[in-house]
């Protein structure tokens, strides 16, 4: 069993009893490993990406988080800055990173905020390099 599969196993085990609670939260939640690969998303994340990117839930597992945002959301001159900040957050040992960016979808300016948290001392075998991601959106009319 490789480290990625081990991370999935531990996360599923850790959250088995809490899955319904996590899925009921309105915010978009994902977890990634040290390489930025997604290994868990909640229902809010799935619903959000199905609505705004026509992606179904099977498209997330093992996906690279930075590439996902590069392909879907970031299509202007600020894209490189946002992607670099996201990659820095993925590789950082700092406890929290906050990244804000805007995207225009169907004549609406959507402001997003990504919060990237490190897991600390959650499970020694998992290590301190896994992250939990929260995605929030505020909509403004143009």
What number is the average pLDDT over the span 57-80? 76
| Residue 12 token pair | 């599923």
* Tally of structural domains, the chain: 1
The 10 Å CB-count burial string (b at 16+, else e) for 104-114 is eeeeeebebeb
Question: Which residue has 């992250």 as its token pair?
Answer: 131
Instruction: Judge whether residue 125 has pLDDT over 60.
Output: no
pLDDT above 60: residue 126: no
Q: What is the reported pTM?
A: 0.75
pLDDT digit string, tens, across residues 77-106: 567 888 889 999 988 888 889 998 887 777
**Residue 136: CATH number of its domain:** 3.30.450.20
Residue 98 has a pLDDT of 92
Q: Which domain holds residue 10?
A: 3-141
pLDDT score recorded for residue 123: 47
Residue ranges of E strands in the chain: 28-32, 38-41, 96-105, 108-118, 131-141
CA distances from 89 to 34, 83, 86 (A): 10, 10, 5
> CA-CA distances (angstroms) from residue 12 to 9, 15, 68, 122?
5, 5, 23, 13
């Amino acid at each position: 069993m490789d480290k990625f599969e081990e991370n999935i196993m531990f996360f599923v085990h850790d959250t088995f009893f809490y899955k319904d609670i996590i899925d009921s939260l309105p915010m978009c939640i994902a977890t990634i490993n040290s390489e930025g690969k997604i290994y868990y998303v909640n229902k809010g994340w799935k619903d959000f990406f199905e609505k705004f990117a026509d992606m179904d839930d099977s498209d997330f597992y093992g996906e690279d988080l930075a590439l996902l945002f590069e392909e879907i959301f970031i299509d202007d001159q600020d894209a490189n800055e946002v992607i670099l900040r996201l990659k820095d957050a993925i590789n950082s040992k700092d406890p929290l990173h906050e990244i804000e960016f805007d995207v225009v979808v169907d004549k609406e300016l959507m402001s997003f905020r990504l919060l990237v948290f490190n897991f600390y001392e959650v499970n020694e075998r998992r290590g301190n390099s896994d992250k939990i991601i929260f995605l929030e959106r505020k909509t403004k009319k143009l």
